[in-house]
Amino acid sequence: MARPMKRGLDYFPLDVDIFNDAKIEELNFKYSFLGEIVYLRLLTMIYRNGYYLEVSVPIAAKQLIRAMGPSLLGLEKKIEEIILYLGDLDLLDRDLLFKGVLTSRNIQRQFILSIKRRKRINIKKHWLISKDELEELNFYVND
């Protein structure tokens, strides 16, 4: 029996300078550490699933609150606001965000770098990276 195709990642690298990134600094300036933790938690949710997560902003906010604990109860609207701001910062793709899909070019780029050794992978749905960019990453897709 063939091994089932793995969709997500068990782990992903995190740049040690992430908190010096201008977008993350902007997120921190506006929402403090809550903005940063929302973004990091969303990354883990996305990568657990693959390179995107089909979920509306309100549902994602509820899932985050459930995962982070009862101290955040009542902050649903604030967390939704943070998620939408991630789209403004281009940490999430704004167009897909409003269609209920959480992903970005950088998320997909990191996903490709993390799965290069896999023999089979389906990367057609909600894909933002061009074939040329994939080739720059030494990743080739058979049509």
Q: Report DSSP state, residue 5.
A: P
pLDDT tens, residue by residue, 107-119: 999 988 888 776 6
Tokens of 36: 């940063």
Q: Report pTM.
A: 0.88
Question: How many CA within 13 A on the CB side of residue 73?
Answer: 3
Domain-wise residue ranges, the chain: 20-103
- Rounded Cα distance between 28 and 91, Å, is 13
- Whether residue 102 is predicted with pLDDT greater than 70 in this model: the reply is yes
- pLDDT, tens digit (0-9, with 9 covering 90-100), for 37-71: 999 999 999 999 999 999 999 999 999 999 988 88
